[in-house]
Structure 1
Amino acid sequence: MNDPVTLSSLVSASTTPQGVRPAIMVVAFEGWNDAGDAASSALKHLKSATSARRLEGIGDDDYYDYQFSRPHVRRNASGKRVVKWPTTRIYRAALPHTELDLLLVRGVEPTYRWKAFIAELLMRAEVENVQGVMALGALLADVPHTRPIQASISSDDPVVREALGASESTYEGPTGILGVLAQFAEAAGLPTVSIWSAVPHYVAQPPSPKAELAILHRIEELLPVGLDLHELTEDALAWERGVNALATGDADIAAYVQQLEQAQDETELPEASGEAIAREFERYLKRRHRPGPATGTSDASAVEGPQAPPESPRSPDTPDTPDTPGTPE
């Protein structure tokens, strides 16, 4: 069997030595692009799993309206009150048993000067020898919480689409910072892929562990990294049980969830084929053979279950998505 094509293999094939190990930049921003905090939480999980070290971030005052993205007052470990400002943090981690690193970017979607912000981010990417970009997002959608949460992959690069089996986004309309980043990164010649998870709109408040889990499974498929997802799988099961309890107590919500279940089941029924099952089994094998922790990875089937790759959401920035599905830091 041939080795699976991943984003990292595309990067490895095109990388030239620059004195710094090549890296793949993985990006998530709180705000419009982050329903239920699923994308930013997935990146936080990846940062913890890879023991990433913090680098210098991107300046704050030039890009944020603090009346919109308000700072938070918290107490540190010594009990002193400190102000935590909305910012963009950057981390770097080596991927074991590979010649690649990850450059992890986690921040709050900026308010001002998006073009300058993206230019500064891509300049940092050049210094860090970034050779590919992965954008993480989550959107509110008409999906039931009782079914496997969908995470789709898309790219505007035909080479990336063919290699990874990604779809092409056909959306036209208002976009978030991830849409701008993807366009600029591709214009700079960087292979770019986006992962978007759907979050049930009637339980949009964070956390959304089931959507986070779907994003992390996609990351395992596209990067040579193994993640211990046992605890997150348990959180997703507990989250689903909690939403079930709330829905049971409201007849209108229960009826609406049943309607969504029926619509999704009818849509996916033609995909319940031997080919779809084979594709899902191949995804499972890819996750199992990733380097790193294996504990709990196979437990994800308790939540995700065998399924056909979902049809991509119509858009990561649908007009009926609220302006701020996430919560500002």
Structure 2
Amino acid sequence: MSHQWDTLEGFGDDDEREEVAVSALVHIVDGVPELEGLDELTLVVTLDGFLDAGNAAVSAADHLESVSGGPGPLGSAGSGKVVATFDVDQFHDYRARRPAMSFVHDHYEQYDAPRLLVRLHHDTAGTPYLMLRGPEPDNRWEAFCSGVREVIERLGVTRTVQIGAVPMAVPHTRPIAVTPHATRPELMTGASPWRGELRIPSSAQSLLELRLGEWGHDALGYVAHVPHYLAQLDYPQAAIALLEDVERGGRLTIDLTALREAGEERAVEITQYLSGNAEVAEVVSALEQQYDTFRQAESAGQNLLAPDQPLPTGEEIGRQFEQFLAGLEED
């Protein structure tokens, strides 16, 4: 049974009411033997619905579940012991994101209920870690952050690592860039490519990191830059880049063999298409020139804007790659 804050009459001060409200939103398993006596424990966070160009974060999370012994997808049997469950009805807008279900002949079955869970996994070396997966909350972000804080403090999490991906005007022929971020400079595992201040749309994940920093908990994350003409496809290369950083930031060991094989297959598909489509190849070439000019100027400490080499617009690239995307989807 869940409670709203404004119905908690009879309880003491505001702190007591908040504690009761948070407890109603998340159920945490007590006495998990695998977590006893640990000096360090990482929580990996990936929320569906935002910050996932190229399905990079979802692919990365699916891979973590598969190499941890779970056959994937989220919620399937054997994909990790559940150690915390959020009351998803408090966060999910069902009319905006309607779950799928099956109609078989004359009846309904197989309702894919949204689930927001924390599961226990083990990396390649046997080190235990936690992973929070599920749909990004549509509302009550502050309550969600408080619920995650409760999980962190009850289960002894020492660092939280978040992953995501955004579409960028970059070529697929260059290394995947990743923007790192953290609540403390000491947690950074690489330099941020950004200078100055950016005003961006917020997310439940970004608010979570902000609040964790304010509450004194270590949190860091990584956002991969995905070529925006590939943003609607599975792009394993971005998932690989994210998990390589999760290894460093989360102090985990991850077998990436299957993802690397998928990335090689995708690269072959893209190369084959470009070899027979000169116009599309020209667009990629323009992005390569812009990227290289940017990097050269950055290395020389000069203006990072390439003179007289404007980037193609999203509409221009979208038109050029319409056939490309359709061809890959058919395959």
- The question of a shared fold, defined as TM-score above 0.5 by the shorter chain, is answered with yes
Q: Distance in 2 between matches of 1:97 and 1:211?
A: 23
Cα RMSD, aligned residues only: 2.8
The alpha-carbon distance between structure 1 residues 39 and 96, as it changes in their structure 2 partners (threshold 3 A), is closer
Larger displacement relative to structure 2 (207-216 or 260-269): 260-269
Q: Could you say which residue in structure 2 is the equivalent of 1:68? A: 96
The letter for the 1-side match of 2:100 is: H
Q: Distance in 2 between matches of 1:83 and 1:92?
A: 25
Q: Could you say which residue in structure 2 is the equivalent of 1:281? A: none
The letter for the 1-side match of 2:137 is: P
Tell me the secondary structure at the aligned position of residue 164 of structure 2. strand
**Is residue 141–residue 204 contact of structure 2 (8 Å, CA) maintained in 1?**
yes
Q: Could you say which residue in structure 2 is the equivalent of 1:235? A: 262
* Structure 2 unaligned residues grouped into runs of 5+: 1-34, 70-79, 301-313, 315-331
Larger radius of gyration: 2
Indicate yes or no: 2:243 matched with 1:216: yes
Mapping of 1:1-329 within 5 angstroms?
A: 21=38, 22-51=40-69, 52-73=80-101, 81-94=109-122, 101-161=128-188, 164-167=189-192, 170-269=197-296
**Is residue 84–residue 151 contact of structure 2 (8 Å, CA) maintained in 1?**
no
Q: CA deviation at 1:265?
A: 2.1
The letter for the 1-side match of 2:59 is: S
Q: CA deviation at 1:173?
A: 3.0
Aligned residues: 250
Tell me the secondary structure at the aligned position of residue 174 of structure 1. coil
Q: Distance in 2 between matches of 1:168 and 1:229?
A: 25
**Is residue 141–residue 201 contact of structure 1 (8 Å, CA) maintained in 2?**
yes
**Is residue 20–residue 129 contact of structure 1 (8 Å, CA) maintained in 2?**
no
Identify the structure with bigger relative contact order (alpha carbons < 8 Å, sequence gap 6+): 1
Q: Distance in 2 between matches of 1:257 and 1:119?
A: 44
Q: Distance in 2 between matches of 1:200 and 1:101?
A: 33
The letter for the 1-side match of 2:54 is: G
Q: Distance in 2 between matches of 1:88 and 1:168?
A: 32
Tell me the secondary structure at the aligned position of residue 202 of structure 1. coil
Larger displacement relative to structure 2 (47-56 or 60-69): 47-56
TM-score by length of 1: 0.68
Q: Distance in 1 between matches of 2:261 and 2:176?
A: 15
The letter for the 2-side match of 1:23 is: L
Q: CA deviation at 1:42?
A: 0.8
* Structure 1 unaligned residues grouped into runs of 5+: 1-17, 274-319, 321-329
Q: Could you say which residue in structure 2 is the equivalent of 1:326? A: none
Q: CA deviation at 1:92?
A: 1.2
Q: CA deviation at 1:272?
A: 8.3
The alpha-carbon distance between structure 1 residues 250 and 95, as it changes in their structure 2 partners (threshold 3 A), is closer
Q: Distance in 1 between matches of 2:157 and 2:260?
A: 31
Tell me the secondary structure at the aligned position of residue 266 of structure 1. helix
Q: Distance in 1 between matches of 2:186 and 2:287?
A: 35
**Is residue 92–residue 104 contact of structure 1 (8 Å, CA) maintained in 2?**
yes
Q: Distance in 2 between matches of 1:131 and 1:168?
A: 27
Q: Could you say which residue in structure 2 is the equivalent of 1:283? A: none
Q: CA deviation at 1:94?
A: 4.4
Tell me the secondary structure at the aligned position of residue 159 of structure 1. helix
The letter for the 1-side match of 2:53 is: A
The letter for the 2-side match of 1:114 is: W
**Is residue 167–residue 228 contact of structure 2 (8 Å, CA) maintained in 1?**
yes
Provide Cα deviations, 1:48-98, integer angstroms capped at 9, x if missing partner: 3234423342111111111222212269xxxx9311122212111345768
The alpha-carbon distance between structure 1 residues 48 and 20, as it changes in their structure 2 partners (threshold 3 A), is farther
Q: Distance in 2 between matches of 1:214 and 1:96?
A: 17
**Is residue 155–residue 166 contact of structure 1 (8 Å, CA) maintained in 2?**
no
Q: CA deviation at 1:224?
A: 3.6
The letter for the 2-side match of 1:49 is: V
TM-score by length of 2: 0.67
The alpha-carbon distance between structure 1 residues 168 and 58, as it changes in their structure 2 partners (threshold 3 A), is farther
The alpha-carbon distance between structure 1 residues 73 and 20, as it changes in their structure 2 partners (threshold 3 A), is farther
Q: Distance in 1 between matches of 2:161 and 2:239?
A: 15
**Is residue 63–residue 110 contact of structure 1 (8 Å, CA) maintained in 2?**
yes
